[in-house]
């Protein structure tokens, strides 16, 4: 995993190699297991130049049924990319919108 300790505790930079593939209902998405990390998951995850923001949604790791694949399909249809951060028994949803502008200074 990339260095999770950064100067900004609200953000972390990772690579796609840090993730595993989560497959459900015919949908594949990138996910990373954050359960072993001491610090809480960050609000922003930057992956190879793409900034993903936690959108407040979470799903159970087991038992998410049809809701998770439906949400991923809806986001992808809208042109947004998604990934998940697994923390304990929850999947935290992160979204990258290529059309959005970053509203805070880097």
- The domain tally of the chain equals 1
Is residue 82 scored above 80 in pLDDT? yes
Name the more confident of 78 and 2: 78
Residue 2 pLDDT greater than 70, yes or no = no
Could you report the per-residue pLDDT of 4-19, keeping only the tens digit for each?
Answer: 444 677 899 999 999 9
In a domain? residue 106: no
**Which pLDDT does position 101 carry in this prediction?**
67
Instruction: List pLDDT tens digits, range 56-78.
Output: 999 988 876 668 889 999 999 99
- Give the pLDDT band of residue 79 (cuts 50, 70, 90): very high
For residue 3, count other CB atoms closer than 10 A to its CB. Answer: 8
DSSP class of 69: H
**Residue 68 domain flag:** yes
Residue 29: Cβ-neighbour burial (10 angstroms; 0-12, 13-18, 19+): buried
pLDDT at 89 over 70: yes
Range of the domain at 90: 11-96
Q: Is residue 1 part of a domain?
A: no
Q: Answer yes or no: is 33 within a domain.
A: yes
Residue 25: CA count within 13 A, CB half-sphere = 11
Instruction: Report yes or no on 40 lying in a domain.
Output: yes
């Amino acid at each position: 995993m990339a260095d999770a300790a950064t100067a900004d505790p609200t953000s972390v930079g990772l690579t796609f190699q840090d993730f595993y593939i989560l497959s459900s209902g015919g949908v594949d998405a990138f996910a990373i297991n954050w359960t072993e990390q001491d610090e809480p998951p960050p609000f922003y995850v930057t992956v190879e130049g793409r900034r993903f923001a936690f959108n407040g949604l979470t799903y159970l790791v087991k038992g998410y049924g049809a809701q998770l694949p439906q949400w991923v399909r809806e986001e992808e249809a809208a042109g947004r990319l998604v990934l998940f951060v697994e923390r304990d028994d929850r999947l935290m949803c992160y979204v990258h919108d290529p059309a959005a502008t970053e509203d805070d200074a880097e």
